[in-house]
Structure 1
Amino acid sequence: MRDRFEELLEFAPFFHNFLNKQHKNYHIYVINQVDNLRFNHASLFIVGFLESSVDCDYIAMHDVDLLPLNPEVRYQFPEEGPYHVSAPHLHPRYHYPTFIGGILLVRREHFQHVDGLSNKYWGWGNLTSGIKDTFRHVHDQRRDMIKCYNQQEVTHHRDCHTGLSTVKYSIQSRKEVTIDGAPITILNTVLECNKVTMPWV
C-alpha cells in the first residue's frame, strides 16, 4: 500500500472479528511503499511474502480497501491451488472473466514454485493479467495508469525473469502494532529498480 492508513484503521478491526469467527490464526503484514518510485503492487506482495513468518502455510494477497461483506466468505487453506476470494462480479470496476485480484489466497509452496510475481509492473494496469498468467501454471486514491517510453511493450508478455529471486528492496523501518486486537507488522519499504531498462518508473 501507499499512504492508506485510514483504510487500515477500518480494515484491521474488521478482519480481527471476521477471522476470529472462522477460528483462523493470522497476522497482518502491511507493506508500505515509502520511496519516490511509481507504485509496484507485485513487489510489495513479494516483500510481504519474504518478510512474513515461515510458520504460516498460506498467504492472502489482499487489497486494504476491500472488505468481504458476506460472512460466508471463507479464508480457508487453498488446498487445490490459488483461491480467488473476490470474484469479478463483486468488483464492479473489474467485471471481466479474467480478473484476478483484490483477495487471492496462495500456499507458500505455490508462491515459491512460480517465483512469486513479476515485479516489472510499475504503476497500475497489467498486474491482474500477470497474476493470472503466473498462477495458471500452478492450477490447470487515484491509480497511476500513465504509459510512457516502451512500458506497454515491456509489460505486454508474461514475465518469466523477475520475481522472488530478483526483487530489490530495503526495509526503512519495522513496527509491531495492535489495532483493536489485530496483530500487525508495518514494514516501510524502499523498492529499487533499474532506471535504464525501466525509465518510466
Structure 2
Amino acid sequence: MKVLLTSFKFKYIFTCIFITFIISCLISIAPISIEECKCNNIDKIDLHEQNVNRVASKHHKHHLAILVPFRDRFEELLMFAPHMKKFLDKQDIDYHIFILNQIDRYRFNRASLINVGFLEIKQDFDYIAMHDIDLLPMNDELQYFYPENGPLHISSPELHPRYHYPTFIGGILLINRKHFLQVNGMSNKYWGWGLEDDEFYVRLKEAGLNITRPPNLLTGIQGTFKHNHNRNHRKRDMVKCFNQREVTRKRDRQTGLHNVSYKIENSINATIASTPMTILNISLMCDEFITPWCQCDTNNVTKDKKTNDKKIKR
C-alpha cells in the first residue's frame, strides 16, 4: 500500500511539472499579449518624457547673453560675478556672462563692445542684457525674462541711483535679437564716456519699438540697485576733442552693427566665485577720418560745457 501511494505521488508531481512546462511554452509563443504589454509601457515612458521636456522648455526656451563692456575694472568684476549668479539663479533662466574686454590703445567704446559681443553670440542666444559692471540689481522683482514685444529697461530713471531723465536707457537694458538687428545695433562713434545710450534711444524710437520698465517697485532709488562706481577712484573719460561734441549730439546714420571693425584676440573660459563666464579680449579698430577722437591729445582738446540736454538731434 505504501509502495502504491508513493508511486501515485511521484506520478502526480511529475504530471504537475509537465503541465507547468506546457503552459510556460504556450505563454512564450503568445506574441500578441507580449507586444501589447510592451506598447503600453512605451506609451507611458514617452508621455513622461514629453511632460519633462514641456516643463524644461517653459523655463529655458530663450537664452540670455549678459554683455558686460569692460576695461580695467577687476575689483568691480569680483563683486559683479557672484552677485549676478546668486540673483539670476533664483529666476531659473538660461544665461551666460560675457566680459567684453577692450585691450586696444584707443579710448573706451562701450557701444562698439556691445556690437562686437552681439555679433559673437547671436547664433546661440536670442536676447542680450547690455549690463554695466558697476550696477547690481538688489530687488528680486527685477526679472530678466525674454523681452518679446520690445526692449526692457531694467534700471529705469525712477530707480537708478544717479540718472533720472526720462529718455535714459543706460545701465541695464534687455533687447531681443530681432530688435537689435532691426535698429542696426549701436553707434560706433562714441569713444570716451557718455551719450551712446541716448543715441540708441533715438534708434529704438525711430524703429517704433516700445520700451518698457519694471512696474510698481517700492524699493525706490536707494534700495533697488547698488552702484559701485567711485568717481574719485575712477574718473570718467569726458574729454571732447576735434569736432566730437558736435557729431555725437546727432543721430548716427553711418555706423552700427554692420560696420563695427574689430578683432577677437582670444576667448577665455573663466570662473570667478563659482560663476562661469567667457572673457572676450577685443581689439577695436578706429577710422580716424570718421572719428579722430578715438585718440585725443592736448592740442585737440576742447573744453566740454556742462549741460542737462540729453537729447540727440535726429
Select the residue among 209, 218, 226 that pairs with 1:139: 209
> What is the deviation of 1:146?
0.9
Per-residue CA deviations over 1:70-103 (Å, capped at 9, x if unaligned) read 1111101102101100011322331111111100
> What is the deviation of 1:53?
5.0
1:198 and 1:12 map into 2 onto residues whose CA distance is: 34
Residue 99 of structure 2 corresponds to residue 30 of structure 1: yes
What pairs up with 1:46-125 in 2 under 5 angstroms?
46-52=115-121, 54-125=123-194
Q: Is the CA contact (8 Å cut-off) linking 2:122 and 2:177 kept in structure 1?
A: no
Moved more, 37-46 or 8-17: 8-17
> What is the deviation of 1:138?
4.2
Q: Is the CA contact (8 Å cut-off) linking 1:49 and 1:59 kept in structure 2?
A: yes
2:129 and 2:182 map into 1 onto residues whose CA distance is: 16
Q: Percent identity?
A: 56
1:23 and 1:162 map into 2 onto residues whose CA distance is: 36
Unpaired stretches in structure 2, ≥5 consecutive residues: 1-69, 211-233, 295-314
Distance 1:134 1:196, change over 3 A: same
| Matching residue's letter, 1:167 | V
Moved more, 2-11 or 88-97: 88-97
Select the residue among 277, 283, 287 that pairs with 1:194: 287
Q: Is the CA contact (8 Å cut-off) linking 1:81 and 1:138 kept in structure 2?
A: no
1:25 and 1:182 map into 2 onto residues whose CA distance is: 14
2:122 and 2:96 map into 1 onto residues whose CA distance is: 9
Residue 238 of structure 2 corresponds to residue 169 of structure 1: no
Distance 1:166 1:17, change over 3 A: same
> What is the deviation of 1:121?
0.7
> What is the deviation of 1:15?
1.1
**Bigger helix share:** 2
Runs of 4+ off more than 3 Å: none
Number of residue-to-residue matches in the alignment: 201
1:16 and 1:35 map into 2 onto residues whose CA distance is: 29
| Matching residue's letter, 2:156 | A
Moved more, 176-185 or 105-114: 176-185
RMSD: 1.3
1:9 and 1:53 map into 2 onto residues whose CA distance is: 26
1:35 and 1:56 map into 2 onto residues whose CA distance is: 26
1:4 and 1:74 map into 2 onto residues whose CA distance is: 25
| Matching residue's letter, 2:128 | I
Which has the higher relative contact order, 1 or 2, with Cα contacts under 8 A spaced 6 or more apart? 1
1:129 and 1:29 map into 2 onto residues whose CA distance is: 23
Q: Is the CA contact (8 Å cut-off) linking 1:110 and 1:138 kept in structure 2?
A: no
Distance 1:197 1:55, change over 3 A: closer
